[in-house]
């Protein structure tokens, strides 16, 4: 009897752990939410050239957000409650597309996207940019995965990967490219993921 | 009046030295040698005149991974635009970045000559400090990757690695020798006393420091204190950046400082502080409550120009 109980408990623990494991989340998450994620990326890509900005949710309940507006001389960092009128006023003051950014914020909120930003990287001494998005999926709220974030990178052009699907520096150099200190894995030619302990 | 005469004499000495050096270089056709590094404070224009005369650098046997053209471009860019000094993504170079930002405003010619001496000779001396970087540093400089703009700035790589290699504090005791990737680890960290020691030795400033690594400064009104100090000098703050720029949603965090920033402007209205500071190649404006501001500041270092070195 104790042996049977042990087997059942072991099985349940395994199911619990694997169902919430970062690996499982990573494999499926992008495809399950592809439309919403790509829509956020597309909106951000369109809005950014009108006035560079980044958005991040800084509270666990996704009620506070940090807005960074980047100008030639200064970066302005603000923190708002998600429904605060000051948010829209600020966006308008900087002549940003307040309505579309507000929609973007709502879409980010709905999918628990914690951060979106452009990030620079260098290939053959030339500057390139990618869009970096962090998500805190509900499943990653499980015990032992408290501080895990699903980080996606959207590259503007196809990338190179090794046989294990890890992002490479470039074709001629068989060196893993790290982004914010993390090794990323292939989802498709232009999109990669990593599961990390921080959202930016 | 006496101080004016003294300043004029210093200017004349500097100008003469610079002219002699440029003449010597024109004759020999060799790369420019250092000009009395560190003895006097210089202007940005002097440094620009100096670096712009250098058209080409030869590769240095001491720094095998540094591309000379990139080195020169980086050095010139730092002199022209000190704000652009960038400590790199994910590194622990922020203290060296803040120091360099101040250095470039205090003595840009000294900075240029020091870096060129280091590049050409593999070691350099500046005021009373003798830099003799280890072989591992010389191998790594120019080859740091995935640090953003620092990837293409080999002069800054060389300088930050040299500083981290030379100056040691208690945070570095368990990792004294450089291994690949140590720029992100305790090897490169700087505690408050180490930062102040570096600035004392390299900059022509008098300084006063308040605070510590684990204890906030005891001040009745931190805003008044900082804004008063900023009227007469340059202020560097040692702050807990992990609660300013959150990287995760963990609610209980150690209250320790992690980052050095240079204060540029500060004002207060209705208990909200508007604070402009320099870090990581740009200036940022932050609006925070006075209570939060008090919570994040652990160290306040105030620099004033030494009278004898004043421009």
- What tens-digit pLDDT sequence spans chain B (311 residues)? 333 333 334 344 444 444 444 433 333 334 443 333 344 589 999 999 999 999 999 999 999 999 999 999 999 999 999 999 999 999 999 999 999 999 999 999 999 999 999 999 999 999 999 999 999 999 999 999 999 999 999 999 999 999 999 999 999 999 999 999 999 999 999 999 999 999 999 998 888 999 999 888 988 899 999 999 999 889 999 998 777 777 777 766 677 888 999 999 999 999 999 999 999 999 999 999 999 999 999 999 999 876 555 44
The three-point CA angle B237-B238-B244 to 5° equals: 95
CA B246 to chain CA centroid, nearest Å:
25
Both tokens of B184, joined, read 């992100």
Gap from A139 CA to chain B (nearest CA, Å): 16
Do B266 and B276 touch, CB atoms closer than 8 A? yes
Average pLDDT by stretches of 10, chain A with 200 residues: 61 48 64 92 96 92 92 92 91 94 95 94 93 81 63 94 90 81 92 86
Contact A75 B284 (CB under 8 A): yes
Residue-averaged pLDDT of chain A: 85
Domains, chain B, ordered by start: 14-195 (no CATH), 205-305 (3.90.70)
Sign of CA dihedral A79, A82, A83, A88: positive
ipTM of the complex: 0.82
Contact A74 B152 (CB under 8 A): no
Query: In terms of Cα–Cα distance, which of B292, B190, B186 is closest to B243?
Result: B292
Answer whether residue A10 is part of any domain. no
Hey, is the C-beta of B4 within 8 angstroms of any chain A C-beta?
no
Hey, is the C-beta of B184 within 8 angstroms of any chain A C-beta?
yes
Question: A 56-95 residues with CB below 8 A of B?
Answer: 56, 58-60, 66, 73-78
CB neighbours of residue A77 within 10 Å: 18
The label of the residue with tokens 């052009």 reads A157
pTM attached to this predicted model? 0.84
Residues A42, B81: Cα–Cα separation, whole Å: 34
Gap from A116 CA to chain B (nearest CA, Å): 13
Sign of CA dihedral A100, A118, A77, B296: positive
Sort out which chain A residues have CB atoms less than 8 A from B148's CB and list them: 119-122
Answer whether residue A182 is part of any domain. yes
Phi, psi of B296 (to 5 degrees): -90, -20
Both tokens of B186, joined, read 């305790």
Both tokens of B73, joined, read 């471009």
Gap from A87 CA to chain B (nearest CA, Å): 14
Answer whether residue A144 is part of any domain. yes
Answer whether residue A83 is part of any domain. yes
The label of the residue with tokens 């703050």 reads B237
Closest in A60, A147, A181 to B90, CB measured: A181
Hey, is the C-beta of B68 within 8 angstroms of any chain A C-beta?
no
The label of the residue with tokens 């804004």 reads B227
Sign of CA dihedral B178, B192, A200, B154: negative
Residues B118, A157: Cα–Cα separation, whole Å: 39
Residues B274, B76: Cα–Cα separation, whole Å: 33
Instruction: Please give the torsion angle defined by the CA atoms of residues B14, B16, B19 and B23, in that order, rounded to the nearest 10 degrees.
Output: -130
Closest in A74, A149, A198 to B276, CB measured: A74
Query: In terms of Cα–Cα distance, which of A181, A179, A166, A174 is closest to A129?
Result: A179
Q: Find the domain containing A55 and state its range.
A: 24-196
Residue-averaged pLDDT of chain B: 85
Please state whether B86 falls in left (phi above 0), alpha (psi between -120 and 50) or beta. Answer: beta
Both tokens of A5, joined, read 């109980």
Q: What's the number of domains chain A is made of?
A: 1
């Amino acid at each position: 009897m104790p042996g049977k109980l042990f087997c059942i408990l072991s099985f349940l623990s395994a199911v619990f752990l694997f169902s919430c494991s970062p690996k499982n989340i990573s494999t499926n998450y992008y495809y399950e939410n592809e439309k919403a994620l790509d829509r956020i990326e597309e909106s951000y890509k369109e809005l950014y050239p009108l006035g560079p900005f980044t958005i991040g949710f800084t509270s666990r309940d996704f009620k506070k957000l940090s807005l960074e507006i980047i100008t030639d001389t200064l970066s302005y960092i603000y923190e708002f409650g998600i429904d605060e009128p000051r948010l829209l006023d600020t966006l308008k003051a900087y002549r940003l597309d307040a309505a579309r950014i507000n929609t973007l914020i709502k879409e980010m909120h709905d999918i628990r996207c914690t951060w979106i930003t452009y990030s620079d990287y260098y290939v053959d001494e030339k500057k390139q940019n990618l869009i970096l998005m962090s998500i805190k999926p509900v499943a990653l709220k499980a015990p032992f995965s408290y501080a895990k974030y699903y980080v996606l990178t959207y590259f503007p052009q196809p990338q190179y990967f090794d046989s294990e699907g890890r992002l490479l520096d470039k074709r001629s150099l068989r060196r893993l490219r790290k982004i914010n200190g993390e090794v990323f894995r292939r989802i498709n030619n232009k999109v990669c993921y990593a599961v990390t302990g921080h959202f930016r | 009046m006496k101080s004016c005469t003294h300043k004029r004499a210093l200017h004349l000495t500097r100008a003469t030295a610079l002219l002699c050096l440029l003449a010597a270089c024109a004759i020999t056709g060799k790369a420019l040698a250092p000009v009395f590094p560190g003895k006097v404070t210089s202007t940005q224009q002097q440094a620009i005149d100096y670096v712009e005369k250098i058209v080409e650098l030869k590769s240095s046997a001491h720094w095998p991974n540094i591309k000379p053209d990139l080195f020169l471009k980086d050095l010139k860019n730092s002199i022209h635009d000190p704000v652009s000094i960038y400590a790199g993504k994910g590194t622990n170079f922020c203290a060296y970045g803040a120091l360099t930002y101040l250095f470039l405003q205090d003595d840009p010619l000294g900075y240029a000559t020091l870096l060129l001496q280091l590049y050409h000779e593999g070691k350099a001396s500046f005021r009373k400090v003798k830099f003799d970087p280890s072989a591992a540093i010389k191998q790594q400089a120019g080859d740091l990757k995935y640090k953003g703009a620092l990837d293409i700035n080999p002069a800054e790589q060389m300088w930050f690695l040299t500083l981290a290699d030379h100056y040691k504090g208690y945070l570095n005791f368990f990792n004294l020798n450089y291994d690949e990737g140590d720029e992100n680890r305790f090897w490169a960290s700087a505690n408050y006393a180490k930062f102040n020691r570096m600035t004392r030795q390299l900059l022509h400033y008098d300084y006063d420091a308040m605070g510590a690594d684990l204890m906030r400064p005891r001040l009745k009104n931190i805003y008044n204190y900082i804004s008063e100090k900023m009227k007469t000098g340059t202020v560097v703050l040692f702050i807990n950046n992990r609660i300013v720029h959150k990287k995760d949603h963990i609610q209980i965090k150690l209250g320790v400082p992690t980052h050095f920033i240079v204060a540029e402007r500060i004002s207060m209205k209705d208990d909200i502080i508007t604070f402009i500071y320099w870090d990581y190649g740009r200036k940022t404006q932050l609006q925070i409550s006075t209570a939060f501001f008090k919570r994040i500041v652990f160290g306040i270092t105030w620099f004033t120009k030494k009278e004898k070195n004043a421009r």
